[in-house]
Chains A and B, each alone.
Chain A
């Protein structure tokens, strides 16, 4: 078991399921970490993985688990760095077994894994069709026939309990991102939920780290304005947290990028609405009095966070199928490029109407001109433009027709249409949110001891 420590180092080795692996290897090797956290679940990932699990009961965890763990497990094993990750997704037990197979293949022997369960509340919400969907105000009943998954954002308490088993690896399904980082602090320092100051420390630290390189110079560099050294070798972040709640954040020694008050401020406000009330399963964080101080190059101290007690509910993300999105693209260059693209767009629309295709949403983009920020009154015409048409339909055939008609602009459209790509269609897995009273959720820890 662990010795009681006064200070711990926690690194973030992924901020999304497909995050870059090489910086995670550098972090594991050079970060002198006690804990390495992989945050790997976007809102819709669990829904997608729930479908994978239906097809194959051994699947349903984030599939990039294999590559990532192969790369870091030997290092973490040798350095006694414990791994915490929500990459168990819809099937953390299968994820744990997959991890253990990888460990055996790597010659590391048997690695016990503590698995956090209880986030899957699909049956609980199915029995409560009158729950209100936060985005629409409608009852859940309206999407129940298409429901794929329902997962509560669990907090740090159950993850800390999992760490209490002593297992080197903790795998979870849906857990709030900052909670993955707060959990090691609760476990190591014995912080309680009555100590709101400490909860605020762990939560703000987790929020700073949860998007990996977004706090070390990613999403930040700007030529001539915001210099980031060695962008190609951006390092991942590390927090050094003391038992008394002092926090400094830094990054992998020797890596590229930068971490300072500017990068931390951008990340702190990222995905935040009211800065005095950032709700997590652990507390309601208030960052309005936070002090970020550049203590040394790539060392920032964080203090002044506050928190109010956690709310009586868990946020639940519900995944449901919602038809298909089809899209197609084709390019126009030179004289009258924009006018020809617009002519093509009109013909595509008319042909789809002639076929009686029905769409719930339909969008035309001129890439190079209006695809990101729409069309304000004045915008110069570019030399070349790429027409993109995307539409959402209940009917798969209608979605397929979009890309087909765009590609056919090669032969059946305005002059000089080039570079069309094959029609693309995907099934839509939409998400909605609910609030579920805490007493209806039962977070728990299961040991997957391996053999």
Chain B
């Protein structure tokens, strides 16, 4: 057993854009992992993962009914779709930065198989 686990192993994600702000949803496959993600995938952890891309700040919203967290990452899109010099002007690929975040696996109760 590894002592870290990736967001990818626990959840699926999608990125959306509004102006210069990206939102990245994190949707747990399992109820128990939603609680684990809520405890470990904090605004600070996410800001650190995006620090070389976005200025921030990062705000987290919880939607327990949907087993989801929604991260709003400000100043993330090179000024916004219309003026950005990026190839991925919408930041559609930014969900993959979230999926690659590694979390300490201690404290996670693996769901029953």
A residues touching B (Cβ–Cβ < 8 Å)?
Answer: 42-44, 135, 219-220, 222, 225-226, 262, 265-276, 287-292, 304, 322, 325, 327, 361-363, 365, 367, 371-376, 388, 390-392, 428-431, 433
CB–CB A273/B72 < 8 A: yes
The answer to the question of B108 belonging to the interface, with a C-beta cut-off of 8 Å to chain A, is: no
Docked Cα-Cα span, A354 to B17, in Å, equals: 37
B residues touching A (Cβ–Cβ < 8 Å)?
Answer: 8, 12-14, 16-21, 23, 25, 27, 52-53, 59, 61, 63, 65-68, 70, 72, 78-83, 85-88, 92-94, 96-97
B10 CB to closest chain A CB (Å) equals: 12
CB–CB B93/A372 < 8 A: yes
CB–CB A290/B65 < 8 A: yes
Docked Cα-Cα span, A262 to B19, in Å, equals: 26
B20, B66, B92, most chain A CB atoms within 10 A? B66
Docked Cα-Cα span, A392 to B70, in Å, equals: 32
B40 CB to closest chain A CB (Å) equals: 20
Residue in B closest to A364 when the chains form the complex, CB atoms: B85
Inside 8 A of B70's CB, which chain A residues have their CB?
A: 269, 272-273, 275
Inside 8 A of B72's CB, which chain A residues have their CB?
A: 273-274
Docked Cα-Cα span, A431 to B96, in Å, equals: 27
CB–CB A270/B81 < 8 A: no
Residue in B closest to A433 when the chains form the complex, CB atoms: B19
Residue in A closest to B26 when the chains form the complex, CB atoms: A269
Q: How many A-B residue pairs have CB under 8 A?
A: 123
CB–CB A288/B81 < 8 A: no
CB–CB A361/B85 < 8 A: yes
Inside 8 A of B8's CB, which chain A residues have their CB?
A: 225
Inside 8 A of B65's CB, which chain A residues have their CB?
A: 288-291, 304
A208 CB to closest chain B CB (Å) equals: 13
B20 CB to closest chain A CB (Å) equals: 7
Inside 8 A of A433's CB, which chain B residues have their CB?
A: 19
CB–CB B87/A373 < 8 A: no
Inside 8 A of B18's CB, which chain A residues have their CB?
A: 271, 273
- Please name the 4 residue pairs, one residue from A and one from B, whose CB atoms are nearest each other, closest first: A271-B16, A269-B25, A363-B85, A390-B85
Docked Cα-Cα span, A372 to B17, in Å, equals: 15
Docked Cα-Cα span, A161 to B65, in Å, equals: 36
Residue in B closest to A292 when the chains form the complex, CB atoms: B66
Docked Cα-Cα span, A43 to B39, in Å, equals: 36
Residue in B closest to A390 when the chains form the complex, CB atoms: B85
Inside 8 A of B20's CB, which chain A residues have their CB?
A: 135
B36 CB to closest chain A CB (Å) equals: 18
Docked Cα-Cα span, A429 to B27, in Å, equals: 35
Docked Cα-Cα span, A42 to B13, in Å, equals: 23
B27 CB to closest chain A CB (Å) equals: 5
Inside 8 A of A274's CB, which chain B residues have their CB?
A: 61, 72
